[in-house]
Amino acid sequence: MTGTSSSKVVDVTTVSARPSHAAKPGLVLTALALGGSAYSLLQSLIVPALPVLQHDLHTTASGVAWIFTTYLLAASVVTPIAGRLGDMFGKKRVLVSPCLRSPSER
């Protein structure tokens, strides 16, 4: 082979693995813990209403347990869907849209 090859030396010591504007992990953990606690509190707020539901719906305790299970299951399915819709269309629009109904539905 009669060609010459040139090699370039690249200095990789200046490249940082983390961006300088990275969030603090303690702050993120605190926000997630607070959100999880608020979510579990909201899910448990229906428990005091179970006897009222039993009386108003004329059902048994096992019927009310099924209602409670269905409520929790529906909430656990809707929450990630609402989060994804919030990412796609904006949080404010997704949070306000259930409040906006046509006048014929009121």
Query: What are the domain boundaries of the chain?
Result: 43-101
The answer to whether 74 and 66 have CB atoms below 8 angstroms apart is: no
Say whether pLDDT at 100 is over 70: yes
Average pLDDT over residues 81-85: 90
Q: Which of 2-6, 19-23, 47-51 has the highest mean pLDDT?
A: 47-51
Of the candidates 38, 85, 77, the residue with the CA atom closest to the CA atom of residue 98: 85
Residue 81 and residue 32: Cα distance in Å, rounded?
A: 18
Residue 80 and residue 82: Cα distance in Å, rounded?
A: 5
The answer to whether 53 and 67 have CB atoms below 8 angstroms apart is: yes
Of the candidates 96, 100, 72, 99, the residue with the CA atom closest to the CA atom of residue 85: 96
Average pLDDT over residues 51-74: 91
Q: Which DSSP string do the residues of 1-22 spell out, in sequence order? A: ------------TT--SS-TTP
Say whether pLDDT at 56 is over 90: yes
Q: Which has more pLDDT, 81 or 20?
A: 81
């993120």: which residue's tokens? 28
Range of weakest confidence among 5-9, 62-66, 91-95: 5-9
Tell me, what's the pLDDT at 27? 86
